[in-house]
């Protein structure tokens, strides 16, 4: 989908994945689960995203708006806390699609979690946090929130190739980091960058590191690298889009190069 405007797409997706019931913003979710990531975390996977990444592991739900079930913030809170305490996890998160598309829902959930001894990890592409400064300010009001901004490639050209969004929107991912830091989040502790590196040559990676360092030195030291995991449905999507990762991993953790 060349020329995609992710801000406008966010508005379109919102009307498919959100509804207001009794003054409460509800969001579509397709599952709740425990998992090994971060050493053990309870996860709510949301439906709908504002990008169309050509390597997305959850594309069967993130590309659509009519799947899953509407959940209130209270119901999401109950499910995440139930999983976390039953399995003795320290962390909870939203993942799968883009959680910030329903920001009122997200902040209502964080209000409920604020009294728990759990750390909330927000996995986001950061575009809306970069576009709407008040979104970042909302997140800065919580003490036990960590924001993981997942960059889609290391240059504007990679971003456009991998997501279908126009390259000028890539800058909003960096702007998200700036807004979060300006709002008071601590770099490398409460906010840090992740980046998809499966399609990036070394020279582009260095440019990306330098760009992060220009915002704050700690960001360049706390990068969480991401690589494509070759699940069958991901391999299908890669082939459909004619993409070949420079480095990827099989589901069993064995690396593959130049697939």
Q: Beta strand pairing status for 145-151 and 224-226?
A: unpaired
Per the listing, tokens 């039953």 go with 86
| Burial of 195 from C-beta contacts in 10 A (0-12 / 13-18 / 19+) | buried
Handedness of CA 225, 13, 84, 187 (dihedral sign): positive
pLDDT in tens, 85-143: 999 999 999 999 999 999 999 999 999 999 899 999 999 999 999 999 999 999 999 98
Residue 111, C-beta contacts closer than 8 angstroms, at least 6 positions apart: 73
pLDDT in tens, 139-159: 999 989 999 999 999 999 999
**Encoded tokens for 38:** 């971060």
| 44-48-52 Cα angle (round to 5) | 120
Of 13-17, 27-31, 229-233, the poorest mean pLDDT is in 229-233
* Contact status, residue 102 vs residue 14, Cβ threshold 8 Å: yes
* Contact status, residue 50 vs residue 163, Cβ threshold 8 Å: no
Per the listing, tokens 């109950």 go with 78
Chain mean position to CA 199: 18
Angstrom CA distances, 240 to 54, 55, 68, 250, stand at 9, 10, 25, 19
Domains of the chain, each with CATH number or no CATH = 6-226 (3.20.20.70)
Chain mean position to CA 147: 9
Residue 36, C-beta contacts closer than 8 angstroms, at least 6 positions apart: none
CA–CA gap between residue 234 and residue 87 (Å, rounded): 29
Nearest to 124 by CA among 165, 152, 90: 152
User: What is residue 257's predicted lDDT score, i.e. its pLDDT?
Assistant: 59
Nearest to 51 by CA among 147, 125, 103: 125
pLDDT in tens, 49-75: 999 999 998 888 899 899 999 999 999
């Amino acid at each position: 989908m060349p020329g995609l405007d992710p801000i406008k797409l966010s508005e379109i997706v919102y009307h498919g994945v959100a509804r207001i019931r009794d003054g409460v913003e509800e969001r579509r979710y397709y599952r709740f689960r425990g998992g090994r990531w971060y050493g053990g975390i309870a996860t709510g996977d949301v439906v709908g995203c504002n990008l169309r990444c050509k390597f997305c592991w959850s594309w069967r739900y993130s590309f659509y708006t009519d799947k899953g079930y509407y959940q209130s913030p209270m119901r999401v809170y109950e499910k995440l806390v139930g999983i976390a305490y039953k399995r003795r996890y320290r962390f909870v998160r939203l993942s799968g699609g883009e959680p910030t598309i329903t920001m009122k829902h997200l902040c209502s959930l964080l209000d409920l979690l604020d009294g728990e001894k759990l750390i909330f990890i927000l996995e986001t592409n950061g575009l809306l946090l970069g576009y709407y400064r008040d979104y970042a300010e909302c997140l800065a009001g919580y003490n036990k929130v960590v924001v993981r901004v997942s960059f889609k490639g290391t240059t504007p050209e990679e971003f456009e190739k991998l997501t279908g969004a126009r390259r000028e929107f890539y800058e909003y991912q960096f702007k998200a980091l700036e807004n979060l830091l300006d709002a008071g989040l601590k770099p490398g502790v409460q906010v840090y960058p992740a980046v998809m590196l499966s399609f990036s040559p070394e020279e582009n990676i260095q440019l990306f590191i330098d760009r992060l360092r220009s915002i704050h030195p700690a960001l360049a030291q706390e990068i969480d690298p991401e690589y494509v995991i070759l699940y069958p449905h991901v391999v299908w999507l890669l082939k459909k889009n004619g993409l070949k990762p420079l480095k990827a991993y099989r589901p069993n953790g064995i690396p593959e190069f130049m697939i």
